[in-house]
């Protein structure tokens, strides 16, 4: 793996926020980092508190694992799982319950991890699941991680991009009520999301000429205007405009038949119009190995594609597969971006690289 980025050769540092302390976040984090092979690829830095981590470790009857406690990211040891204590007080943990405390410390962990990422002290962030209700406060008035990180990084737009080895799905509209979806679907928004997806497929996944499928909004993709006009008046013009700008976009496709016939396998990614239209089939296909990646940002952020798991919190039943995939996806994207920087500064190597990819 190449380790070049802005002239640096340090091992990749991955910041990890712990999510809701009453959920399965720390369980999947600990299970992932217990595998020492992870440390060959990155230096993990968890933002939380060792007492909270010890509580979760005991619920799993794990005695042979401990975090290396540090006060800042520069102190992280390459061959250890590191933890920064982000608060001093004791935290009341009530596994499986949604509490104000759970939201409060989820935000503290997220804020400190993101601040370090923006400052360049880490190279990427992997976020464990939050409860979108109890995390709300004066400092966090967002629908979720994606919107918060977009605002913190002053990014004009972003793309919720669900990725796995078998399928990649992005959405035009994210965490909004279903009744608001049609008014949020515009030509400009679709074109913007297609541009972000196209750029990410090239930069983050090294797909030179991505093919993107676009889904319709209505049943049967509107059936030529019989079941809604959005396809004719908005989605098709957006696809036409995107193609004129160099994006290879196709559609609109009726979502049900598109996924049932595995047509997605013919494309590098799929743009769905709304959250459930894209995420339900994605989770069906990707199961435990899906990753939520926020494309279009100057920083790298991934997350497992599951929630807080209150129903199994503290029962040692949570699978770490999605979190592990999120961690390695973040590593891979950082590597590709570093390699791109190196290539752009070396014209001869870039020329050879381009020929190898053709």
155 contacts 298 by C-beta, under 8 angstroms: yes
Classify residue 315 as left (phi > 0), alpha (psi -120 to 50) or beta: alpha
Q: What is the pLDDT, as a whole number, of residue 348?
A: 56
- The Cα 104–Cα 87 span in angstroms is 11
Q: What does each C-alpha distance from 80 to 73, 214, 310 come to in angstroms?
A: 13, 43, 29
What is the token pair recorded at 94? 């009530």
- The Cα 44–Cα 89 span in angstroms is 24
pLDDT digits over 79-116, tens only? 999 999 999 999 999 999 999 999 999 999 999 999 99
Tell me the percentage of the chain whose pLDDT exceeds 70: 93
Tell me the percentage of the chain whose pLDDT exceeds 90: 88
Q: Which fold has domain 1-155+297-358?
A: Isopropylmalate Dehydrogenase (3.40.718)
- The Cα 305–Cα 327 span in angstroms is 12
- The Cα 300–Cα 145 span in angstroms is 13
Class of domain 158-290: alpha beta
- Neighbouring residues of 231: CB distance < 8 A, sequence distance ≥ 6: 216, 217, 218, 221, 222, 225, 252
Q: Note the pTM of the prediction, 2 decimals.
A: 0.90
Model confidence band, residue 341 (pLDDT cutoffs 50, 70, 90): confident
Residue 333: pLDDT over 60? yes
> What percent of the residues of the chain are helix, what percent strand, and what percent coil, each to the nearest 5?
45, 15, 40
pLDDT digits over 170-229, tens only? 999 988 999 999 999 999 999 999 999 999 999 999 999 999 999 999 999 989 999 999
**What's the rounded mean pLDDT across residues 247-252?**
98
Residues of the chain with CATH 3.40.718.10: 1-155+297-358, 158-290
Q: What are phi and psi of 15, to 5 degrees?
A: -80, 140
> CA 15, 52, 292: angle at the middle one, nearest 5?
40
Q: How many residues does the chain have?
A: 358
Burial 70-83, CB ≥16 within 10 A → b, else e: beebeebeeebbbb
């Amino acid at each position: 793996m190449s380790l070049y980025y802005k002239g640096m050769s340090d091992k990749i540092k991955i910041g990890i926020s712990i999510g809701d302390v009453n959920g399965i976040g720390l369980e999947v984090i600990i299970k992932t980092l217990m595998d020492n092979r992870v440390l060959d690829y990155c230096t993990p830095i968890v933002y939380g508190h060792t007492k909270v981590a010890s509580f979760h470790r005991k619920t799993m009857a794990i005695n042979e694992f401990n975090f290396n406690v540090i006060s800042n990211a520069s102190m992280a040891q390459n061959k250890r799982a590191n933890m920064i204590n982000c608060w001093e007080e004791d935290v009341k943990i009530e596994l499986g319950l949604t509490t104000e405390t759970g939201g409060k410390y989820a935000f503290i962990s997220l804020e400190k991890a993101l601040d370090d990422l923006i400052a360049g002290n880490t190279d990427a962030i992997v976020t464990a699941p939050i409860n979108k209700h109890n995390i709300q406060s004066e400092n966090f008035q967002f629908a979720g991680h994606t919107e918060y990180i977009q605002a913190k990084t002053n990014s004009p737009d972003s793309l919720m991009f669900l990725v796995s080895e078998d399928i990649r799905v992005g959405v035009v509209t994210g965490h909004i009520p279903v009744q608001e979806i049609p008014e949020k679907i515009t030509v400009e928004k679709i074109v913007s999301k297609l541009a972000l997806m196209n750029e990410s497929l090239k930069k983050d996944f090294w797909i030179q000429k991505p093919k993107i499928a676009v889904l319709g909004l209505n049943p049967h993709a509107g059936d030529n205007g019989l079941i809604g006009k959005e396809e004719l008046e908005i989605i098709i013009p957006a696809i036409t405009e995107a193609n004129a700008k160099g994006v290879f976009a196709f559609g609109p496709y009726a979502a049900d038949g598109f996924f049932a016939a595995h047509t997605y396998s013919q494309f590098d990614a799929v743009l769905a119009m709304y959250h459930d239209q894209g995420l339900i089939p994605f989770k069906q296909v990707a199961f435990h190995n899906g990753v939520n990646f926020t494309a279009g940002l100057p920083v790298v952020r991934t997350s497992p594609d599951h929630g807080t798991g209150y129903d199994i919190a503290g029962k040692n039943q949570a699978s770490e597969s999605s979190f592990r995939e999120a961690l390695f996806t973040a590593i891979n994207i950082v590597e590709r971006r570093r390699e791109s920087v190196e290539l752009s500064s070396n014209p001869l190597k870039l020329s050879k690289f381009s020929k190898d990819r053709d």
